[in-house]
């Protein structure tokens, strides 16, 4: 479903991603973890071409991405990409002047030219799927953070994507709201959705992910099943990262 080959990305002289290569099979859920500033969110954004890159290539859901596609005659390719690849952001990014229902129907109506009736019917089903069937007429400011994030997931699903990318979807939420969103992601995994999730949630990595990528200094430092990577890390950066998370978790419990 996803193939990344020698991907490199820089911001001026600073290298953010360095010769990253990886593959993701259909139906896998990848937890992307690692120290802050290591390139996790940038990697995710390159996969949806929200961030152009300087070298390498990505093939995702059958769409091939190469350097320089942010200019020139690539509009239709990127349009196809963003239909096949949905994105859920840390800060929800809902349109504040639109209801939950209108936020979800906007993409299908504009991109796929779906009829208002058909798109509304599909949106209602998606709201029911994320446990918000009775909140279609609510505006974002009338919803809790967890509810807003669930609407954002429903909005991404409205395009019927083959891949979903999540950029720290629970980091702005309190524990109860976080659990609401985690349940939706768990349901998507059970349904076979291919997902990449940037997260600092150990629970997500251990309970939901099929593989864990530890990213540091622009490279994938470790890649493997959660039990292997989290419980028996091989690299020093992984040992330090998971050790720090464990110490922080223990301190919070005290």
Q: Which of 20, 5, 3, 10 is nearest to 221 (CA)?
A: 20
Return the number of other C-beta atoms located less than 10 Å from residue 154's C-beta: 27
Cα 75–Cα 58–Cα 27 angle in degrees, nearest 5: 105
Contact residues for 232 (Cβ-Cβ < 8 A; gap 6+): none
pTM of the predicted model as reported, rounded to 2 decimal places: 0.91
Element (H, E) at 14: strand 14-24
Q: How confident is the model at residue 171 (pLDDT cuts 50, 70, 90)?
A: confident
- Which tens digit of pLDDT belongs to each residue from 115-154? 999 999 999 999 999 999 999 999 999 999 999 999 999 9
Q: In degrees rounded to 5, what are phi and psi of residue 101?
A: -60, -45
What's the rounded Cα separation, in Å, for the pair 2 and 21? 10
* Both tokens assigned to 82: 């963003």
User: How much is the pLDDT for 244?
Assistant: 83
Could you tell me the domains of the chain?
Answer: 2-253 (3.40.50.300)
């Amino acid at each position: 479903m996803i193939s990344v080959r020698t991907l490199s990305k820089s911001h001026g002289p600073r290298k953010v991603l360095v010769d990253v290569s990886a593959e993701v099979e259909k139906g896998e859920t990848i937890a992307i973890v690692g120290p802050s500033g290591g390139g996790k969110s940038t990697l995710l954004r390159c996969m949806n071409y929200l961030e152009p890159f300087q070298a390498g290539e990505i093939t995702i859901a059958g769409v091939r991405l190469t350097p320089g596609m942010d200019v020139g005659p690539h509009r239709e390719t990127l349009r196809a990409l963003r239909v096949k690849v949905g994105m859920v952001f840390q800060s929800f990014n809902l349109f504040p002047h639109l209801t939950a229902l209108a936020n979800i129907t906007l993409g299908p109506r504009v991109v796929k030219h779906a009829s208002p009736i058909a798109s509304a019917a599909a949106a209602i089903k998606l709201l029911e799927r994320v446990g918000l069937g009775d909140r279609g007429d609510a505006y974002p400011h009338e919803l809790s953070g967890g509810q807003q994030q669930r609407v954002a997931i429903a909005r991404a699903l409205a395009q019927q994507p083959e891949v979903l990318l999540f950029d720290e979807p629970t980091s702005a939420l309190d524990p109860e709201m976080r659990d609401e969103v985690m349940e939706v992601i768990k349901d998507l995994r059970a349904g076979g959705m291919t997902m990449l999730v940037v997260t600092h949630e150990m629970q997500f990595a251990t309970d939901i992910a099929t593989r864990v990528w530890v990213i540091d200094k622009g490279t994938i430092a470790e890649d493997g099943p959660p039990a292997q990577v989290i419980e028996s890390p091989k690299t020093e950066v992984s040992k330090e990262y998971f050790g720090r998370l464990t110490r922080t978790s223990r301190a919070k419990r005290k």
